[in-house]
A and B are shown apart, each in its own frame.
Chain A
Amino acid sequence: MVEAHSINAEHKDLIHDVAFDYYGERMATCSTDQFVKVWDQDEQGNWNLTASWKAHSGSVWKVTWAHPEFGQVLATCSFDRTAAIWEEIIGESNEGGTLLRHWVRRANLVDSRTSVTDVKFGPKSFGLILATCSADGVMRIYEAPDAMNLAQWPLQHEVSLKNPSSCLTWNPLLSNFRMPNAMIAVGSDDNSNTTNSKVFICEYNEVSRRWAKTESVASVAHPVHDMIFAPNMGRSFYLLAVATNNVRILKLKPLTDATSGFPYTIETAAQFDDHYCTVWRVAWNVTGTVLASSGDDGCVRLWKSTVDTWKCVGVLKRDGKLPQPQSKTAQSTAQNNLTRFFKLGQITHPSEVHWH
């Protein structure tokens, strides 16, 4: 059985991204209305808006949380060609006893000359490090030398990929195979030609102390809209999910005897064409075992790697019509204008969605 809880995001325009903190208890949303909002879940599971501010002077594309070891920190990127770092400040409590929270801009990263399309914090083992990519195809690495000082974000590296970039993802690198180099995959949604590769792998070279593009994945030639590395739970290989004209799962396997060159083999571990059209977003669950893909068909599909192979374990379909309150399959109770709580599906019916 699935319980659904609907809240009005109170954005005045399209929502572009929703990001959850490390524990899934805080939610940040961003929108074309140039605002970023932060929501907190209370003990009863209700989501309450705790902050809302105009973050940019253009559409805010992505919002992302830093690891909570670095405090309550957000990064955003926008059409206004900037990315920004935000930190939450808790002031004195007011008369009601609730703490006053507000977010202050700690840094504004203005190096891009075009829209910044994605922003992601690196794995916490690398310290407080941030990667951005922009529509002119430049991937930038920023780093806070002192993790306790969020005001200093010197630009450390720039890698020009010469292709309009749409998304990036850090390799979480938890493999015990050997100390690997930091790695970022950048995707391009360039639709002017469909022969060139659209997925680029960038790596940090310890010797030259530089980031550089080390590989293009030839098998992905259609525009890429989103990519994400699976959390590595002690596996000896990496899984990269790609949202392109289909859902693609690439497997990067380290070569043990590689002395030079790109030390991985890249193969397609799975490919799903069930969306029948463009796939816009992909997301891994916490253990990297179930992938959620969002397609142009309006569905969210869940893919699980089982003992056998990858298979679809669930589909979420949208429906613009609210069900009648008397309906058996969905009982909805309007709590107030903003939230709605309802149950979907019959209890323990075989149609229980097994997304675990």
Chain B
Amino acid sequence: MSKTLVYDTLTIPDPSFYDEQVKMFGFWYGMSNICVFPTKVSGTSAYQKSSGDAQTDHNILHLKHTTMLFDPKVRQLVNESSGVFQELQTNVEDPNKSTDALFYSRKYRAILSACILAIDQHNLDKSNETYNQYKLLLHNLELIWHLCEVLYLVTVPGDTILNNLLDWIKIHYEKAENQASMIIEDKTAYFTDEHVEEKFPFYWDAVFGLVLQGNTDMVRMLLCNHSQSDTESFVQAMKILKSMPTYSVYGGLPIAEYNSRFKGWQSSAKNKLDCGIFLSNSNLNDVMKIICGEPDSTDLIRKHCSTWFEFLVAQLIYTEPTIKKHNLSLNAHRSVAKYYDEPEYYHMDSLALDLFDGDLEAFVKKLKSYPDSGWSSTHLTNLLHLCDKIEPEFDMIDAVESTNPNEQYLLDYGTFLMSHHSLWQAGVTYLDHCSAIGKGYLSILLSKLEISSDLRISKILHYATARRLHNVVSSICKVKGMLSLQKSRIGEALCWAIRGQDSAFATYLGDMLLKEYSKGGQFICPDILDNLGSIVVTCDRFMFIGKYLQLIKLAKDEKLSEAASLYIEILRSNICPKYFRLRLLLDVLIFLNDNNECYFNTIDMSLITMRLDDAIMESNEDERFVDQFLLNQVSSIRKANTNYTCTLYGVWKCD
């Protein structure tokens, strides 16, 4: 159990902080890490001068927060609970399915128990202090969760809560029962008349423990095992235990009837106690004192309880067996006051007290500071919220508009998981259920995830696309594209531009490719250009490149007449970028130099001539686009044009 602290102080030791003048500056980096470095501050005028401490080291410290949930053994808790969470949310939205809060609460607890078990198996000799701590933390968590379940989720007819509380105590404090079974299973003592107390020094501890859990059957079995079990005092004690009336809602007894029976039973037992029947064995006498609900047995009970929860329930068995839920608060406060000598409450204590008080809001808020990084507060608040146990808008203030605490916890927990390199996908699940603001978080956090491996990027892109976060997709693709470009991998960059449907970036890369082609006469990444996909529709530059590639292919395959009509189409649509126009016009020679065939009619020829004139004019106006080699080619194009046109006319003249 831990004390509630407002905040915590961490001391950062480093020789760089050698005197008071050295300040520490802190920054956030990545998702949730802090970096601190030493520096000095003085008036602006003194800045320029060297501080003269060149000999000292200037260390930079990176602080990383590691928590229980990030431990490989505890990770199953995170993953499995996110599955249950997801299932619960979908069930709530589906009107055909009933949302049984108790069912889900037990599911969550089962995951907790499984996790504790897994830790145990990994740490059999209990030598790993870390795992011992984790186990304790998770165990306490299960205890408090179970209490919450017993008090708020289990429907108790008539509100007589004791039996449920007993179930709760029995599960979490099983030491006495384990000890008892050990004793009972050992038959030798029974048969050999050996003194069972000597063989099992914890014999009476077990008896007391069971009495305090109201487990009278087992107490009787233990008493049977005692060497004096046939003496009058033991026989009487077992008789009393056997006749103890037990209350059951379905037993048919009204509460008043039961109470009078219980009182009658207790007073008859008390008569026997007062007669001194049990004095022959002091321990047995103490047991009977407790059973009779004697006021001076309080200290006795306290001695045998390891926590005040046990203490509270043990007292109730023999003083107020039909206590109603709403009366628990007073008893709880009394118990905790009696149990502790000093009025000093621990975190767990105040959590349990809030539950007994019926103050779920306060409970949930305190649970938030439980050192499980918000696992419990998130899931429990969400569960209580969904089954209408807490108001969705408790304790709202202006500062956190449009978020209720349930959502606030989901946001915090989701963000926390997103900061882990492999748990981020679980984090997305929680942010998905946070209305509009969750989408804002997702959009920033998804794009901040490190994009180290391609598999990881595919996953991130998949998540972003499914949530229609197209800005995230295009941002990640652009970043990757720029990184490829930095390494001069234009083809790779183009792939990213295509993936991100980034036509501006694609245009830039297309320009690079075309300029490269004008220089070298070859495209650098033919495999990618063969599979351009939809980018040719969205990006003008690639519409041109696509057509141009087709043209080259046709020409290469000697399908010149098809190539020629495509060529004219390209010229007519005017989609060729300025700097490439001359280069494109140079390709006319493929067709004109072929003397065997006519590919163009006069209209085509005039278009070619017109484009040629335009291109030359442009290049005269704007020196930037001029390629001297191409300009030199102009005359040969013109010459071919003229020849060709003459031939055309010549052909007509012949007709």
Where the two chains meet, the residues of A that have a C-beta atom closer than 8 Å to any C-beta of B are: 1-16, 18-20, 22-25, 27, 29, 31-33, 43, 45, 47, 58-59, 68-72, 79, 88-90, 99, 115, 124, 135, 148, 164, 174, 176, 189, 231-236, 269, 280-281, 283-287, 289-290, 292-296, 298-300, 302, 305-309, 311-323, 330, 340, 342, 344-345, 347-356
Interface status of B134 (Cβ within 8 A of chain A): yes
Q: How far is the CB of B335 from chain A (nearest CB, A)?
A: 24
Judge whether B8 and A352 touch: CB under 8 Å: yes
Q: Which residues of A contact B371 (CB under 8 A)?
A: 348-350, 352, 354
Q: Is B137 touching A348 in the complex (CB atoms < 8 A)? A: yes
- Please, how many angstroms separate the alpha-carbon atoms of A186 and B428 in the complex? 36
Is A233 within 8 A of B437, CB to CB? yes
List, in ascending order, chain A residues with CB within 8 A of B5's CB: 350-351
Which residues of B are found within 8 Å of A313, using beta-carbon distances?
Answer: 7-8
Q: Which residues of chain B come closer than 8 Å to A314, judged between CB atoms?
A: 7-10
Question: Is A233's CB under 8 angstroms from B28's CB?
Answer: no
Q: For residue A135, give the distance in angstroms from its CB to the closest CB of chain B.
A: 7
B340 within 8 A of A: no
- Determine whether the beta carbon of A319 is less than 8 Å from that of B30: no
Cα distance, A177 to B140, chains bound together (Å): 45
- B2 interfacial contact with A, CB 8 Å: yes
User: B26 contacts A234, CB within 8 Å?
Assistant: no
A356 x B51 contact (CB < 8 A):
no
Q: Which residues of B contact A285 (CB under 8 A)?
A: 28, 32
**Nearest chain-B residue to A23 (Cβ)?**
B450
A85 to chain B, nearest CB (A): 15
- A124 to B471 Cα, complex, angstroms: 12
If the complex has contacts A22-B448, A309-B399, are A27 and B29 also in contact, measured as CB distance less than 8 A?
Answer: yes
Given A18-B27, A307-B365: A79 and B48 within 8 A (CB)? yes
Query: Of all chain B residues, which has the CB nearest A239?
Result: B399
8 Å CB interface, B515-556 against A: none
Does any Cβ of A come within 8 Å of B129's Cβ?
Answer: yes
B133 within 8 A of A: yes
A185 smallest CB distance to B (angstroms): 19
CA of A158 to CA of B553 in the docked complex: distance in angstroms? 54
Q: Are A347 and B130 in contact (CB under 8 A)?
A: yes
In angstroms, Cα B12 to Cα A320, docked, is 8
**Consensus secondary structure, chain B interface:** mixed
B642 to chain A, nearest CB (A): 41
Across the interface, which residues of A come within 8 angstroms of B411, CB to CB?
287
* Beta-carbon contacts under 8 Å, B21-46 to A: 22-41, 44
Chain B residues closer than 8 Å to A79, beta-carbon distance: 47-48
Write the nearest CB–CB distance from A18 to chain B, whole angstroms.
Answer: 5
7 inter-chain pairs at a CB distance below 8 angstroms, sorted by A residue, are A13-B58, A20-B30, A24-B30, A25-B30, A233-B444, A311-B7, A314-B8
Query: Is the CB–CB distance between B65 and A353 below 8 Å?
Result: yes
B37, B53, B445 — which one has the most chain A CB atoms within 10 A of its CB? B37
Question: Complex formed: what's the CA distance from A29 to B36 in Å?
Answer: 12
Number of interface residues of B (CB under 8 A): 105
Known contacts A58-B48, A233-B441, A9 near B14 by CB under 8 Å: no
With beta carbons under 8 angstroms apart, the residue of A22, A58, A281, A340 that contacts B25 is A281
Instruction: Tell whether A348 pairs with B133 under 8 Å between CB atoms, given A189-B44, A234-B441, A354-B8.
Output: yes
Measured CB to CB, the closest approach of chain A to B550, in angstroms, equals 28
What are the interface flags for B438-457 relative to A under an 8 Å C-beta threshold, 1 for contact and 0 otherwise?
A: 01110011001111100000
Contact of B39 among A14, A47, A300 (CB under 8 A): A14
Flag whether B18 is at the interface (Cβ < 8 A).
yes
Stretch at the interface among B263-271, B479-487, B621-629, B644-652: B479-487
Question: Would you call B607 an interface residue if the criterion is a C-beta within 8 Å of the partner chain's C-beta atoms?
Answer: no
Stretch touching chain A among B309-317, B382-390, B400-408: B400-408
Establish whether residues B66 and A350, one from each chain, have CB atoms under 8 Å apart when the complex forms: no
Is residue B306 contacting chain A, with contact meaning CB distance below 8 A?
Answer: no
B129 touches A15 (CB 8 A): no
> In the complex, which residues of chain A have a beta carbon less than 8 angstroms from the beta carbon of B25?
18, 280-281, 294, 300
Mask of B83-94 contacts with A, CB within 8 angstroms, 1/0: 000000000000
CB-nearest residue of chain B to A87:
B486
Q: In chain A, what residue has the closest Cβ to B365? A: A307
Give complex CA distance A283, B24 in Å: 13
Residue B419 lies at the interface, judged by CB distance under 8 Å to chain A: yes
Within 8 A of A (CB), among B329-376: 347, 365, 368-369, 371, 373-374
B34 pairs with A12, CB closer than 8 A: no
A11 touches B58 (CB 8 A): yes
Which among B29, B41, B53, B347 has the highest number of chain A CB atoms within 10 Å? Answer: B29
Chain B residue with minimal CB distance to A26? B29
A354 to B2, CA, bound (A): 14
Nearest residue in B to A29 (C-beta to C-beta)?
B60
B13 contacts partner chain A, Cβ-Cβ < 8 Å: yes
Bound-state CA distance A20–B5 (Å) is 32
Given contacts A14-B58, A88-B486, A348-B371, contact A298 B67 (CB under 8 A): no
User: Which residues of chain B come closer than 8 Å to A307, judged between CB atoms?
Assistant: 365, 395, 397, 400, 405, 408
Does B204 touch A at the CB level, under 8 Å?
no
A234-B437, A307-B365, A356-B65 known; A344+B30 contact, CB < 8 A: no
Q: How far is the CB of B476 from chain A (nearest CB, A)?
A: 9
Q: Which chain B residues in 213-255 approach chain A with CB under 8 Å?
A: none
**Residues of chain A with a CB closer than 8 A to B34's CB:** 292, 300, 316, 355
Query: Which of B28, B448, B451 is close to A283, meaning CB atoms less than 8 Å apart?
Result: B28
Asked if B57 lies at the interface with its beta carbon under 8 angstroms from chain A, I say: yes
